[in-house]
Structure 1
C-alpha cells in the first residue's frame, strides 16, 4: 500500500515538473488543457529528415548509475536530439518554403492562422447562425438530447452551453472576434468542447483594444444562482482586471433564466 501511494506521489510530482519545464520551453503547448505540439510541421519534418532515436538499450549501471552519462548532463532540447544548428536551420527553411513563407520565424504565426481557418470552417459548416439560435432555444427548454446530437457527446451540457455562447458572440460581433482564443474551456482536435474552464478563469475572455469583455455562462437553477455563481463571477472579473493591468473590464452574465435577486445586484 505504501509503495503504491509513494509511486502515485512521485508520478504527480515529476508530472508537474515535466509540465512546467516543457511549457516554459515552448516545445509543448497546454492551451485549453490539451497537450499538443504548437509547431507540429517542424517536428514532423525533423523526425522524418533525421534518424532520431527516442529510446535506448544501454546497460542500467552505465546509464542510470553513471553520473557522467547523458542522463545527468544539462543538455538543451536540440543537444538531446543530437542535431546541429545547421540541421535545424535547414529544416526550418524547408518547412517555411512548404508553407509559402519567406521567413521561418513566421511559422508559428502561420500555424495559428491555419488553425483559425479550420475553426472558422467548422463554424461555417456545422454551426451557422440558424443552428446557434436553435441551440440557444434548446438550452432554455433543456432538450439535451438534441443539443448533444448537434454539437458533441464528449462534453457535459453546461460546457456545451459555454461553447455555443461563444458562437453566438461570434455572430453578434459580425464574425470580427477570435472566439477560439477566447475560450477557456478545453477543445478537442476538431475544435469541439471537452470540459469547462478552470476554476480560476472566466468562461470566455475577449480582449479588445481599450477594454476586456468577460462572458460567464450558467445553466444553474435560478433558485441557486446567487449562492452558486455570484462569488465566482465577481472573483473572475477582479482577477482578469488585475491581470490586464487594470484595463476596464465588462462582465456579462448569461443564463437560461435569471433570478430576480441576481438581476437586482
Structure 2
C-alpha cells in the first residue's frame, strides 16, 4: 500500500481502521528513516541533517542504535560541517549497490535493534527467571554458564546448534531432555576428561567434581566479598537496615529477595570477616544462594539462620555459634523470636551434646525483655523428647554494636572471651549487658 504522503488518503485510512492508526504511527518514522537512507546511500544525496533527524525520530533505545550505526557523532554542528565524512566507516549501507540489498540490510537492523531493545526492557525479569535455574553467572557485564554446565554443553553444543534451527514438536511436553534431542545422551566421563585437561587436575567422579565446584564457589565468594563488601559498605548496609532504606539495600546487594533474607546474608559476610575468614561460610549459611552467590531464599524453618563452626584453638574450645538475625522490633520481636531462638539452640545442644555451643541474637533493635529472657536461659533446663540440657548461653547484640566491631577491626577470638566472661557472671550483676557491649566494641589490639 502506497500513501504517497497524501494527508487525505492517510486520514481516510485512519478513520476506517483505528488499529491501523497505531501501526501507522509506529511505522511512519521507520519509513522516513528508510527514505533518507536511500537518498544518501543510493541516490547520492547530501542532506545528512535530515538523515540524523529521521534517526532521532525513532524513540528510545532503537533510535540510539540507529544513530550509532549511521554516524560517527550526533553533534549537528559537526555533521553540517563535515557532511559525508560524519558517516560511520562501519556503516553497512556504504556497501549497498542496489535497493534490494539496501532493503535487506535495513530489514536486518530494524529487527535486530527492536530485539535488543526488548531484551533490555525485560532484562531484569529474564535474569530472575534464569537465576532460578542455578546455571548462569552474571558477572562483569558477562553471562556465563556455571562451570559444570559449561563443560557439559561444550561437549554437545555442535549438535545442539544444528538442531536449534529445525522444527521440534516436543518442546512444550514434559518429557526427558534425551527425547527432545539425542545430543543430551552424554557420557559424563568425557565431560570430566575435558574438565580435567583444561584445569590441570584429575576429576573422575561426581564426588571429585563436587569438591572442585565447591572450592571454586568458595574462591568466587571471597572474590565477591573483596569486590563488593568492604568494611565501609557493610557499615552502610547496617545503617540502611536500621533506617529501612530498602531501595539502597537492593542497589548494594540484590533487588530480587526479601530484605530480611538480605540481612541474614550480610550478617553472614560480616561474621565471616570477623572470624578472619576461617571455615567455609557457604556451608555455614543456611540461605539458598543463586549461581552468582547472591541470596535467593530465606533459611529453612527449624534451624538457626547461620551456624558457624569453630575448631578448637588457644582462644576457645571446639564449638558452634548459632547466629540468629531479625529485623522485627518491639512486641513483634518478643512474639516472633523469643521461643524460636531458644528452641534452635536447645535442639542443637541436645543433638550434638557440646556444652560450648551457644547463640548470638542480632537485630537492629533489642527489646530489654528479650535480653533478660535470653540471659535467664542460663539456668532454665530445656527438654526435647528424651533429651534434656541444663542452661543455655544466648548473647544479644544490636547492629549499632556490630558497626563498631567492624570499624574497630574486632576479631572473634576476642569476642568469644568477652562473651564468655559476661555469661559466667552472676545473674544479679547490674548492667552486665551494657558492660559487655562496651567491652566488645573497643579498639581491638591483636
Q: Give the one of 320, 326, 331 matched to 1:218.
A: 326
1:39-91 deviations in Å (ceiling 9; x for gaps): 4355335544888x9xx989xxxxxxxxxxxx9xxxxxxxxx766xxx54344
Are the aligned partners of 1:42 and 1:91 in contact in 2 as well (CA < 8 Å)? yes
Distance 1:143 1:57 in 2: 49
Matched, 1:111 2:213: yes
Residue 233 (1) aligns with residue 341 (2): yes
CA distance in 2, matches of 1:49, 1:94: 15
Distance in structure 2 (CA, Å) of the matches to 1:183 and 1:135: 18
Question: 1:134 corresponds to which residue?
Answer: 236
Aligned partners of 2:262 and 2:295 also within 8 Å: yes
Aligned residues of 1:46 and 1:88 also touching (Cα < 8 A): no
Deviation at residue 126 of structure 1 after TM alignment? 1.0
Question: C-alpha distance in 2, partners of 1:215/1:97?
Answer: 41
Gaps in structure 1 of 5+ consecutive residues: 1-33, 59-70, 72-80
* 1:115-264 → structure 2 map (5 Å cutoff): 115-209=217-311, 210-243=318-351, 245-248=352-355, 249-264=357-372
Shift of 1:242: 4.5
Q: CA contact under 8 A between 2:279 and 2:310: conserved in structure 1?
A: no
Structure 2 residue matching 1:213: 3-state secondary structure: strand
Q: Scaled by the length of structure 2, what TM-score is found?
A: 0.42
CA contact (8 A) 1:95 1:104 kept: no
Q: Which has the higher contact order (CA 8 A, sep 6+)?
A: 1
Q: How many residues align?
A: 210
Q: Which residue of 1 aligns with 2:152?
A: 43
Distance 2:347 2:152 in 1: 36
Question: Superposition RMSD on alpha carbons, in Å?
Answer: 3.3
Q: Tell me the distance in 2 between the aligned counterparts of 1:98 and 1:130.
A: 38
Please name the residue that 1:15 is paired with. Answer: none
Structure of larger gyration radius: 2
CA distance in 1, matches of 2:344, 2:224: 29
What TM-score results when the alignment is normalised by the length of structure 1?
Answer: 0.67
